[in-house]
Chains A and B, each alone.
Chain A
Amino acid sequence: MQSTNANKKNTLSWLWLLILTVISTYIGSFLELFNTQKSLFIIIVLFIVFLKGQQIIDIFMELKKAPKLWRRLLFAYVILLPVIIGLIYLL
């Protein structure tokens, strides 16, 4: 039963990651077409990075069940790095 639940979680997470990847690439193709809204597209793509990172950290790496410190450290990575990259591109 526990195994079935874990497999279900992993499968849903995998599908969500695939969808987010396709969305991210699709949005990227608009960057050249809508140059005026480039900033908005960059923010969305970087936000998707965070959403994908959250899935990998919590579900695949199983850090949701780990001590808070380690989960926070990994979360800091997928939050701070996209923010820093975003600031470099947008400022």
Chain B
Amino acid sequence: MNKSLNIDAQTVSVEANKTVEANNTVQAEKRLPGDLAMWFFILAELTVFAVLFIGFAVSEQLNVEMFVQGKAKLHQISGLINTLTLITSSFFVALALTQMHQGNGKQAAKLLVVAKLVACIYISVKIWEYLSLFEQGIDIETNTFFTLYFMITFFHLMHILLGMVILFFVAIKAAKNEYNASNISGFESGASYWHMVDLLWIILFPLIYVI
């Protein structure tokens, strides 16, 4: 009887240990990539853009004709190219992070350079788009549509430039092998910021160019 009780107690103890180990494994896997502060910053940025997007949608309902005419003057293909370039740039940053997880700092840095080069296409197209509108005599003061168009897209462009600066410093640190498996938070924070810029554009593009 006592023997049986002992065996049961041991079984329960082993099972309990297994559960604790399983919980620890789950907790280890459920890790927020990057610094917590960066994620609060990302949430703040997303909120600011949400207000701008909703403001744009409401203004469109108040000035339907003006917004239809304004959208007709935009170059939809350039918006499409910019979307494709930002998605591709984000893809290279994701590949760089995978390399960094494997401890290949130099390879990760090279992929970040490719990501930034692709982002340069976005910047070039955006500048071309602005210049072609200026040539037509359209600027931020033309009407409400173009005020919001320039304000939102330029604000987003500023985020792209800031993202490129962040990725520049991250790439330098990665090339010097200053990140390792236990110290990769800075790299992840930079990558997450870049993906946020991409996330914003995938809402901005249909809102301003498509619908």
Is the pair A88, B91 in contact by a Cβ cutoff of 8 Å?
A: no
Instruction: Known A-B contacts: A6-B101, A10-B91, A13-B94. Give 19 more (CB < 8 A).
Output: A13-B91, A21-B87, A25-B80, A25-B209, A25-B210, A42-B211, A45-B210, A49-B202, A60-B93, A60-B198, A61-B196, A66-B30, A66-B31, A66-B32, A70-B32, A73-B43, A81-B203, A88-B60, A89-B61
Chain B contact residues: helix, strand, loop or mixed: helix
Question: Does B127 count as interface, using CB distance less than 8 angstroms?
Answer: no
Question: Does B168 count as interface, using CB distance less than 8 angstroms?
Answer: no
CA distance A31 to B76 in the complex (A): 13
Q: In the complex, what's the smallest C-beta–C-beta distance from B190 to chain A, in angstroms?
A: 12
Residue of A46, A67, A77, A84 near B46 (CB, 8 A) is A77
CA distance A90 to B198 in the complex (A): 26
Residue of A10, A70, A81 near B94 (CB, 8 A) is A10
Q: How many residues of A contact B (CB 8 A)?
A: 48
How many A-B contacts at CB < 8 Å in the complex? 129
Residue of A7, A14, A45, A78 near B199 (CB, 8 A) is A78
Sort chain B's interface into a size bin. 35 or more
CA distance A11 to B209 in the complex (A): 26
Given A7-B98, A21-B84, A45-B210; A57-B32 close (CB under 8 Å): no
Is the pair A28, B32 in contact by a Cβ cutoff of 8 Å?
A: no
Is the pair B87, A6 in contact by a Cβ cutoff of 8 Å?
A: no
CA distance A59 to B98 in the complex (A): 11
Is the pair A61, B33 in contact by a Cβ cutoff of 8 Å?
A: yes
Residue of B98, B99, B211 near A89 (CB, 8 A) is B211
Name B47's closest neighbour in chain A (CB-CB). Answer: A77
- Chain A residues near B206: list those with CB within 8 A: 24, 28, 45-46, 48-49
Residue of A3, A56, A67 near B99 (CB, 8 A) is A3
- Chain B residues near A18: list those with CB within 8 A: 84, 87-88
- Chain B residues near A82: list those with CB within 8 A: 203
Tell me the chain B residues, 79-131 only, with Cβ under 8 Å from chain A. Answer: 79-80, 83-84, 87-88, 90-91, 93-95, 97-99, 101-102
Is the pair B102, A62 in contact by a Cβ cutoff of 8 Å?
A: no
Is the pair A81, B50 in contact by a Cβ cutoff of 8 Å?
A: yes
* Nearest 7 CB-CB pairings of A with B: A28-B210, A14-B91, A88-B57, A6-B98, A10-B94, A60-B94, A17-B87
Is the pair B32, A67 in contact by a Cβ cutoff of 8 Å?
A: yes
Is the pair B209, A28 in contact by a Cβ cutoff of 8 Å?
A: yes
Is the pair A62, B198 in contact by a Cβ cutoff of 8 Å?
A: no
Q: Could you write out 16 A-B pairs with CB less than 8 Å apart? A: A13-B94, A14-B94, A18-B84, A25-B83, A28-B76, A49-B202, A52-B202, A53-B199, A56-B199, A59-B94, A61-B191, A62-B97, A66-B31, A67-B31, A70-B39, A81-B50
